[in-house]
Structure 1
C-alpha cells in the first residue's frame, strides 16, 4: 500500500512512540486504521523518509532530495547533530544542489534517528546530546553564580554566594565570594576577575540574570539588556552573549567549575570570613593550573598563558556601576532614596520635579533630567547613608529660603496700634499697654435679673414649674 502525503504525515507522529517502546505497531495500526504491515514498513528504520510523489497519470516519481540522500547520510554519520541548514548550505555550495531547504529538513528529521541507531546511540541519549564548541584564545569567558548557603552562619552571615568566571579556551578559573548579588557587587566581581586574568575577553556568556537582562521576552525576540551592563561592556570593550532560556549546556564550562571549586576549595573546611574563603581559592589556583584538563588534554596553565596574552587590555580608569532611579523632589528640597533623605539645591529645583539618582556603594549622586545652561546635570553628591531614617543635608542647599528668624507676633487678633504718649509726655511702652489692657478686663459690669428684660419685651416669663391640672 502506498500512502498519500496526508496519511504519511499522520503516521509520522507515531514514530518516536514506537521507537521508545511506548506504543506497538499493532496499536498504531488500530489508531490509524492502517494495516500493520503498512505501519511497520513506514515506521521501520529502513522505511522511506517521506511519501512518494505521484504524477498526474499515477506514476510515482523520484524526489529531488533522494538524489543527495547518501551525501546527507554521510554528513550525519560524521556529525549526528549537524543542523539541516548547514547540510543544505554545503549541498548547495559543494554539490550544486538546487532543492528546497524544507525538503532537506524533512529528510534530516527522518534520517537522524536512523543514523543514530546505526551508530549505537539510543533515542534517549540522542535527546540529551549537544554540540561541543571550541574557541580561540581570548575569545570568550563564561560567568555564573553559586549559592554556598550558610557556610558562615556561625559568624552571623546568613548567606554566601560565589562568583565564577572561566576562560573558555583554557578553562582558567576565577572565583570570589560575596554576601550579595546586587548590581554593584556583580560588576565589581567582573573588575576583580579582569585584574586576575590581566585583561578582558572579547565575549562573555551569561544566562538571563536580572543584572544583565532588563526583562524576559518570548523566544526569538531581541533581549533588552540592562543599561549598566551595556555601559560596563562598552567601557571594557567586550560583547554580551545571553543564552536562550533553559539552555544550561551553553555555559557548561563555568557550571562545571562551580562544582569543582565547591569540592576542592570549600569541602570539609571551616572559614571565619569572606577573606579567608578568597584566600583559599587563591592558594588553590596554582594547583589547578598545573593539571592536565580532561577535555583539551593540555596543561591548563600553558593554555592560560596563551589565553591571557590574547585578552584585551584594561582601560586606565574603572567603570563605576550605579543604580539609577527617578525620584521627586519634596517641598523641603529633600529626595527620598533607600529609606533616607538627601538634599538638593533649592535654587536649581522645584517641588515635585523628577531627578535622577545614581547610587554606588559609597555615594549618592543626584542629577537633573535636563542639562542646565552649562550643559551639566549634576545637582549634588552625598556620602551614602548607613541604615534607614537618616537625613543627609548640605546647609548650603537651603540658601535663600526663609529661616523663620525676625518674625513679629501679637497676643491676639487686634491689629497693632500706634504708640501713645504717656502722662509725662513719653510714649507708652508695650509692657504698659499690656498692663492697661489687663486692667480693662477688671471693669465691673452691672447685673440685672432676667425679669427686667421680660417686662421690657412684654413676654411671659419662663418658668420651670409644672402646673397641677385636674383630669376630666
Structure 2
C-alpha cells in the first residue's frame, strides 16, 4: 500500500471517527496480507475490529453509569456452594430471553446467600448484549423519589427507574415502608409492567409483603404486576459471608 493511499485512509478514518482503524492500519494490513484476504474479507476485518472497540467502550460506559456495586459475572458465582439452586435455570436466564419478553426475576432467600451477586451477574450479561441497566436498593429508590417529590420533580426522577431495559431492585423488604412510599413503589412497578424487566432480591416471602408495604391491597397490586411474567428463584442455602468468616477464623483445636 503506497504512502499516499495510507495517508489518505488515515485522513478519512479521522474524519469518520473510527479511531481504531486510524491507529492500527499497518497492523490490520499486515494481518490481511499474511492471511491472503480478499477485498471483502479485509473490509469485514476492518468493520469487525472497529465495531468490537466501540462495543467494548459502550459496555464499559454502561457499567460505569449503572450503579452496580460490582461487576461480577456468573463465572464468579460458586454454584457448588448452593447445590439446591437450579443452575440450569440461572444459565437459561443469562440468555436474556426474559429481557426481550419484558419478564421479571425474583431472587428470594435469607441474607448472604448470593441473591445480589446473581442479580448483578444477570444485569452485566444484559449490558453486554446492549441493553440499558440500572441498579438500586429499594430503600435508596424510595429516598430519591421522596426527595424529588418535595421539589416537584417526582415524575422526572421516576424516569430514572422507568428508562432502563433492566432495573435491579435490591433488598426489597429489608426495611418496612409507609403507605406513601409503598404507593411510589406501586407507581414504579405498574409503569414498568410489560415495558421493562425488573430483577429484585428479597429476604421476605411474598406472603410477608403486606407488612413490608404497610398495606395488603397495595402489596397485592404490586405482586400482581411483578409476578404475571416472572421467574422466581428461591435460595435457601448457607451464607457466603459466614463461609468466608469461618475460613478466616483461627482454629479452635488445642495445641499439644
TM range (shorter): under 0.3
TM-score (norm 2): 0.23
Larger radius of gyration: 1
- TM-score normalised by structure 1 residue count: 0.15
User: When you count helix as a share of all residues, which structure comes out higher?
Assistant: 2
